[in-house]
Amino acid sequence: MEIRTVTAINERQASRSAPTAPGSLPLLGHALRLARRPHQFLSTLSALGPVVRIKIGGYLGYVVTEPGLIRKAFVTHSDQGILAERTRPLTGEGVIVLQGQRHRQERRLIAPAFAKARIADYASVMARQGAECAQSWRDGQEILLNEEMHELAVRTMAATLFQGTLGAETAGHIHRLLPPVMTLLVRRGTRPAWTDRLPLPSNRRFEVMLAELKAVTRTIITSRRAELAADPEHDPGDLLGALLQARDDESGAMLSDTQVHDELLNFLVAGTQAAAATLAWIFHELSANPNVEAALHAELDAVLTNGRPAEFADLERLDVTKRVVTESLRKYSPWLTLRQITEPTTLGDVEIPGGVLLFACPIAVHRDPAFHPDPMRFDPDRWLPQNRARMSPDTYIPFGMGARQCPGNVFALTQITLQIATIAARWRFRTIPGSEVKEVAIGAFIQPTRMPMRAEARF
């Protein structure tokens, strides 16, 4: 396995035209600011210029803040560098961290798992999970909506990954283990690598929980292999089955059990965190924006007769719902995208030395009033066709871009749209007076803190 190194800080090698972000500390650089409030810190840097230099634990990085330059840099360069390598304890040899030719081959292998026909099959599972969630509340019940949506996202991902009883049994373990593992993983990524080997309580806790999470997925793969040995034609129609049957058209290669295991964890990491956050933020915004909520309910009442669960065939008629989802992904998008460049390059008028990390902050772009007027206003009408036609595609990047664009973006959009429609057709949620919802970075996503809400039945 080739692991590329990142250039240690050498002021003489650094560009003369890129300003350095304020607040750098000796040895640590900007690591503490990234660890504590990463998206708030990165969102301040566009005021300094289109490319801004930062330091992280002795290494040099450049934050690209201008959308056109982000596209140039992040489409041209596809390797993610040493910080992505730091996620390997969790993601292993999955598509999130693989580089070069291995990344391209892995994407080809997993692509059939996200083909349109497969998505249509998964949609019934997504809708069923949403309907079961909607049936679990009573009128007037106070719930922690962010917890409910995280459990829904985990159960949906587990059910689409592993059909049958395995999915149900696995969901509880994932719901308990994944958030703290992700939080600890990000903290490890913003500090020097050598600290991972220290006998710190956080390191021990991370290793114990990670071992338990991996044991769950290995058990599932072993069980499915036994089923396939007994019946080679067996295909329950889930993501695990698609991965076990995947074959590269160019080389004929199939995924090993280790590769399948790592891809499952990649899907769990990316799929559950993003879907849970987006579902929760949407209901938070609907509560705060009654006109948007009324327009959504009017559409759902017309399409989903008597509050029935949404189906895959309904998607083409759920225009308001899809705009609500799009706007939520703008306002509450990931805070970090990474690339590593191996050769010197130029971005705008800034000379970038080879071997450094490039950072982009999608949520900073999405909340920049230069690209999205009144960015903190939740306005799904931004995405009406006539408005979207005036918008540069470079200013909306919730799923990344280029060779690293999320391979599961259609899966995620389908899940979120169907579940918002299914739940909102039957329920509205009201914020509990006196409660305050704050943003917190967990993994690469912006999650809500405690979100207490009251469920009000519509039917």
Sequence ranges of the binding site: 406
Measured CA to CA in angstroms, residue 82 lies from 48, 99, 339, 382 at distances of 26, 11, 9, 37
Going by the annotation, the residues of the binding site for heme are: 406
Distance CA 212, CA 208 (A): 6
Spell out the residues 6+ positions from residue 155 whose beta carbon is closer than 8 angstroms to its own.
129, 133, 167, 168, 171, 175
Identify the sign of the CA torsion 222, 223, 229, 231. Answer: negative
DSSP-derived secondary structure letter, 247: B
Distance CA 273, CA 276 (A): 5
Strand partners, 265: none
Distance CA 306, CA 6 (A): 58
Spell out the residues 6+ positions from residue 5 whose beta carbon is closer than 8 angstroms to its own.
82, 355
Measured CA to CA in angstroms, residue 22 lies from 25, 42, 350, 354, 367 at distances of 9, 11, 18, 23, 21
- Can you tell me which residue has the tokens 């058209």? 249
Nearest to 193 by CA among 56, 90, 38, 61: 56
Strand (E) or helix (H) holding 337: strand 337-341
90's tokens: 């969790």
Three-state SS at 303: helix
Distance CA 59, CA 142 (A): 47
Distance CA 430, CA 404 (A): 38
Three-state SS at 65: coil
